[in-house]
Amino acid sequence: MSGDEEPDRLIKLDEVKRRVGLGKSMIYRLIQEGRFPAPYKVSSFASRWSDREVIAWIDDVKDGFEGKRRKF
């Protein structure tokens, strides 16, 4: 890990929903389809997502499904 790289954080579903703009049902549907990162089970009652994996997913969506980055 390079010196300026921040460590990965585990984030709650509420933060994931806020960041990606999708609801719980859609997030879990995408996970089942293999199109969204699955959460890590941190206890029998709690799941958390990797901050880095969510950021990477957002970047992939921005690139578009055809792999073409949208022009701003």
> Sheet of 10-11: strands edge to edge?
10-11, 46-50, 40-43
Q: pLDDT digits over 49-66, tens only?
A: 999 999 999 999 887 765
Query: For residue 2, is pLDDT > 60?
Result: no
What is the pLDDT, as a whole number, of residue 56?
A: 95
Burial class (CB in 10 A: 0-12, 13-18, 19+), 22: middle
Confidence of residue 71 (pLDDT cuts 50, 70, 90): low
Domain count along the chain = 1
Does a structural domain hold residue 47?
yes
**pLDDT tens-place string over residues 8-54:** 999 999 999 999 999 999 999 999 999 999 999 999 999 999 999 99
Which range of residues forms the domain containing residue 42? 10-63
